[in-house]
Amino acid sequence: MNQPPAPFSCTYNPQLPELLFNLKCTIAISTYQAGKVVFISATDDQRLVQLPRNFIGAMGIALSNDKMAIATKNEVVVLKNVPALAPTYPKKPDTYDALFMPRATYYTGQVDVHDLHYGDRGLYAVNTSFSCLSLINDDYSFEPIWKPGFITEYASEDRCHLNGLAMDGNKPKYISGLGRSNTPQGWRENITNGGIVMDVETGELVLDRVPMPHSPRIYDGKLYLLLSATGELVEADVNTGKYTLIHKLKGFARGMAKHGDYLFIGLSKLRQNSSTFRHLPIALDAKEAGIVVIHLPTGGIVGQITYQASVDEIYDVQIIPDTIRPGIINTEGVEHKLGLSIPDATYWAVQPPSKE
């Protein structure tokens, strides 16, 4: 009898560990379906290792220097890399070269945050439920700062399914959505070809009627995005409203980060019984979840991870630079309470004995 694959089992091509090891970076992915953030690192030039941590409904991941923010089902959790704590981490000493520790939690409530980025005003969040761009801070559940002109009011109705945000330096520039509806869930009426990309500064529509745009990103002054319904990586021309195909992928593409000359792109396996996804052009090909690495100058695939268990849907992909094997701690166990840092020192506190 065939044994089921172990949790988070995956296959990968032999070039990928060498690539990550030489780039000195780690892949971070979020999977709301599994409720995890997963770090994927190369222990040497031949082997990958994974570190999954529970974050309920994990979606957007934001990185800025030594800070990481993770959008979850009801919260945004902020973590800070404290490398001095890593060598003496009680559960795995002398294992990690970085250690992300929880430092703050923003209680947003159920607003369905998608993309999340650090910028000039703090944490920018695409608030999908309220069809707006928001700031996350300790003053409000969220602070709305922009909405499309066709959205007449803020309401928890997911009218146009805003999802992705492209930052131009430290300012929001382009935002993607799945429709131009001003009615509750109205974007579902033309899910295959109703997608839009808007200029946040001007409010103008720069791309229209595109197949489920996600993960808009500005790299070297150019706008790239993923067309999830067709599995395409494209470069967009915001002046003409057209786009150029770079690579057609075999999967529901969502989540993208660049490091050096390489794009790291997430692929999701579509639920065949989903009324939202089953009729998409890519539905028959989207049978596996994982990561594809594309060499941007040539457009060719140079690395791939394919999951055999646990991960079916990936939302975000980020790259943690200058780390071979980072660790991450969530707020479920006691470790986040015991790992302490002050400006010039770190400590692992001693857990007090239980009171009798």
Residue with tokens 């057609």: 248
pTM above 0.85, yes or no: yes
Share of the chain above pLDDT 70, in %: 97
| Among 164, 310, 150, 327, residue whose Cα is nearest residue 236 | 164
b/e per residue, 116-129, with b = 16+ CB within 10 A?
bbbbeeebbbbbbb
The pLDDT value given to residue 286: 86
Cα gap 82→103, rounded to integer Å: 11
Strands 326-328 and 98-107: parallel
pLDDT tens digit string along 50-97?
999 999 999 999 999 999 999 999 999 999 999 999 999 999 999 999
Contact 19, 293 (CB under 8 A): yes
**Which class is 10-340 in CATH?**
mainly beta
- Segment 211-230 mean pLDDT: 97
Confidence check: pLDDT of 171 > 90? yes
- Segment 128-145 mean pLDDT: 98
The pLDDT value given to residue 3: 80
Residue 92 structure tokens: 């795995």
The pLDDT value given to residue 356: 58
Residue 177 structure tokens: 């959505």
- The one-letter code for the residue type at 123 is L
Q: What confidence tier does 272 reach under pLDDT thresholds 50, 70, 90?
A: low
The sheet carrying 222-227 orders its strands as 213-219, 222-227, 232-237, 242-248
Taking CA 53 as the corner, what is the angle to CA 260 and CA 259, rounded to the nearest 5 degrees? Answer: 5
The pLDDT value given to residue 273: 62
- Segment 161-172 mean pLDDT: 98
Q: What confidence tier does 233 reach under pLDDT thresholds 50, 70, 90?
A: very high
The pLDDT value given to residue 162: 98
Share of the chain above pLDDT 90, in %: 90
Q: Would you kindly state where each structural domain of the chain is located, as residue ranges? A: 10-340
Cα gap 53→38, rounded to integer Å: 6
Residue with tokens 């995005």: 225
The pLDDT value given to residue 351: 78
pLDDT tens digit string along 306-348?
999 999 999 999 999 999 999 999 999 999 999 999 999 999 9
The pLDDT value given to residue 98: 98
Chain centre distance of CA 144: 21
